[in-house]
Amino acid sequence: MESDSGPSGYDGVLSRREMLAVAGASGMAVLAGCATGVDDEGSGDGASSATYRNAYTGNPVDLHFNSSGIQNYSWPAGRAVFAPFLKYSFTEEEFILGALEDLQIEAEQATLTFRDDLTWDNGDEWTTEDLDVQLQLAEKTGTSLWGYIDDYEIVDDKTARLLFSGTTNPQIIKFELTNFFVDTKVDTHEQWLDKDESEFLQWEWEDPVASGMFSFVTKDQQAFEFERNSEFYNADNVNFESYLIQSFGGNNAQHQALISGEEVDAASSLFAPPEIVDQFEDHIVEINIPAKWGYGIVFNHDDPHFGQRAVRQAVAHVINRQAIVDNAGPRSKFVSQTPCGIAPQDQEYWLGDWMGDFETYGPESSQTDQATQLLEDAGYAKQDGTWQNSDGTIGGEYYSPAGWTDWTTMTETVVDQLNSFGFDFSISTLPTNDWFSRYSNNDFTMGSLYWLPGGSRSSFPYFPLRYQLWEEEIGGGHNYREKAQSEQTIPGRGGGEMTLTPLEETEKIAQQPSDDESRPYVQRAAWHSHIELPFLGLVSKYEQSWVTDDEWTVAAEDSPNREVKWPPFWWIHEGELQHDA
């Protein structure tokens, strides 16, 4: 991509992008190490030459900008270069517009009006031709949006309508759109319209055209490098020139960088226990945001053991969820009181008078008697201290992501409890990419995986319940999709039986005009989830996002932007994170 300096004062001199091209990989480290506070005389449109340094775990060389290719997509890098449609404020419990100028939702359609000044960083105007390709690719890849819209209409260059298959809860449309970014351009993406879905998902977009705050410069093993995008509609809110997403080996390395007080300016999402936080300097500011995300277990439903409901329920009974929290961080984590596919803090609201009838599986204890009864009734027996049947011993490799220190602790706690009961697991800690690949390739028995899709949308039960049935992020590698589309008969509430098709029941949640009318479908879908356990939800948490306020401004505590994911990106968008020269 050519330099995007344009009229901003770089004519006749090298841009940072050109400098890095000449300097090579070592140039990035040199620029990163000397940018902040060295020369604040300004560059281009009055922007300071300071560099903002955001810590991240992951090797940029292995990552790309194709947001549909989730396995190796770099979400922090994506948030630097792509403008969001809209965001959700946990502070105000309201939605905030980004690239959208207006959003009107009626019973059977939503009208999306985009900003007139929405452009790409190469100077091209954004139009609904780009949105047209984006929606076609979203349909191709089975994005959840297409679970409840039949079609769409392009009204004009900046306006489109989503046409619902029936009456739809307005909340679900808003939450769905918080997951959309201006990250699809006709010139770069239309080539995939006639290709197989798998080809598109495997595409590694390395040189993105930006619509957001920053333009991509380069990447190596050390960092992603970005420069201020003067074409961005809120460019006046960005008063510094460069942005780094720096690679660290894991949580411990990020902790040390923050403790030093000088190596980084932020860490978008980083678990830090109290003993580490106590070592941070006063200018390290913690922002807590409801995560609607957390540690759970994914089962391979084609496995001869974990494909059985009784075995999955036995696992749930054995695990003491409070012990996981106590070991890994009660400062930011809490148990899921009832594993039922709904975020813990939303269960009482949605389940109502059903809640007392749900099996809790013992959130603060290891219920080995119940687990024993389930396994014996299913034909298992303990031999030489392990549970087994004609298919062999219950166990296998239990996968956990390398570098996620709190997850390592939670995995050790889970596996210790299961093995003490008589399962036979060994922990296998893998790089994040390999961890995902095991599940995507159906190469596992059961292992750790987040049980909520995360973010504001997980506040609406449709999203987490559908995620657990379909699990797009591992391509359905847990092998529950066929079951989700089949009629099932399960024990009913208060005795008897309940018959439902899980995916259909879940999709009906989205097709109601209000929460009250959605609630019966939420209750039935959650009842199915807590019995069948497509996933096992164990722990949820508050996100810990870290910023610094010695050389940078931060959003006020009562700002509607304070609790928006993620501060080191959205605050810049809104002009509340600036270089304080």
Statement: residue 15 has pLDDT above 80:
no
pLDDT at 45: 64
Query: SS3 letters for 185-246?
Result: CHHHHHHHCCCCHHHHHCCCCCCCCCCCCEEEEEECCCEEEEEECCCCCCHHHCCEEEEEEE
pLDDT of 6 strictly over 50: no
pLDDT in tens, 104-136: 999 889 999 999 999 999 999 999 999 999 999
Distant-in-sequence, close-in-space partners of 532: CB < 8 Å, separation ≥ 6: 309, 312, 488, 490, 502
Q: Tell me which of 264 and 30 has the higher pLDDT.
A: 264
Calpha distance 100→109 (Å, rounded):
16
User: From CA 336, how far away is CA 344, in angstroms rounded?
Assistant: 5
Q: Please tell me the predicted confidence (pLDDT) of residue 145.
A: 87
Confidence of residue 250 (pLDDT cuts 50, 70, 90): confident
Q: Express as a percent the part of the chain with pLDDT over 90.
A: 79
41: exposed, middle or buried (Cβ count in 10 Å: 0-12, 13-18, 19+): exposed
Distance, in Å, from the CA atom of 503 to the CA atom of 484, rounded to the nearest integer, reads 5
pLDDT higher than 70, residue 246: yes
Contact between residue 154 and residue 132 where contact means Cβ atoms under 8 Å apart:
yes
Which amino acid, residue 313? Q
Residue closest to 30 by CA, chosen among 307, 196, 225: 225
Q: Is the peptide bond before 566 cis (omega within 30 degrees of 0)?
A: yes
User: Residue 13 above 70 pLDDT?
Assistant: no
Do residues 32 and 53 touch, judged by C-beta distance below 8 A? yes
Residue 251: count of CB within 10 angstroms of its CB? 22
In the predicted model, is pLDDT for residue 99 greater than 60?
Answer: yes
Mean pLDDT for the stretch of residues 554-565: 96
Mean pLDDT of the chain: 90
pLDDT band at 3 (very low <50, low <70, confident <90, very high): very low
Instruction: State the Cα–Cα distance between residues 326 and 413, nearest whole angstrom.
Output: 10
Q: Is the pLDDT of residue 455 over 90?
A: no
Residue 16 is predicted with a pLDDT of 31
Give pLDDT, residue 227: 98
Q: What is the pLDDT of residue 12?
A: 29
Predicted confidence band at 44 (pLDDT cuts at 50, 70, 90)? low
Least confident segment among 37-51, 398-412, 461-475: 37-51
Is residue 11 over pLDDT 50? no
The structure tokens listed for 157 are 């260059």
pLDDT at 39 over 90: no
Q: What is the mean pLDDT of residues 447-460?
A: 91
pLDDT for res 223: 97
Summarised one tens digit per residue, pLDDT across range 158-200 is 999 999 988 888 888 999 899 899 999 999 999 999 999 999 9
Name every residue whose Cβ is closer than 8 Å to that of residue 338 and which is 6 or more positions away in sequence: 344, 347, 351, 355, 358, 359, 360, 530
What residues are paired with 535 via a beta bridge?
298
- Give 338-394 pLDDT, tens digit per residue: 999 999 999 999 999 999 999 999 999 999 999 999 999 999 999 999 999 999 999
List of residues 6+ apart from 552 with CB closer than 8 A: 52, 265, 577, 578, 579, 580
Bridge partners for 244 per DSSP: 53, 225
Average pLDDT over residues 544-551: 96
Q: Give the pLDDT mean for 50-79.
A: 94
**pLDDT confidence of residue 22:** 33
For the segment 314-334, the average pLDDT, to the nearest whole number, is 95
Contact 210, 121 (CB under 8 A): yes
Mean pLDDT for 446-452 is 97
Domains along the sequence of the chain with CATH = 16-79+209-290+544-573 (3.40.190.10), 86-192 (3.90.76.10), 295-537 (3.10.105.10)
Q: What is the pLDDT of residue 513?
A: 85
What percentage of residues in the chain have a pLDDT greater than 70? 92
DSSP characters over 328-343: H-TTTEEE-SS-SSS-
Q: Using pLDDT thresholds of 50, 70 and 90, give the confidence band for residue 494.
A: confident
More confident residue, 38 or 102: 102
Per-residue pLDDT band for 24 (boundaries 50, 70, 90) equals: very low
Binned at pLDDT 50, 70 and 90, residue 4 comes out as very low
Instruction: Output the pLDDT for position 574.
Output: 98
Global confidence as pTM: 0.74
Strand, helix or coil for residue 154: strand
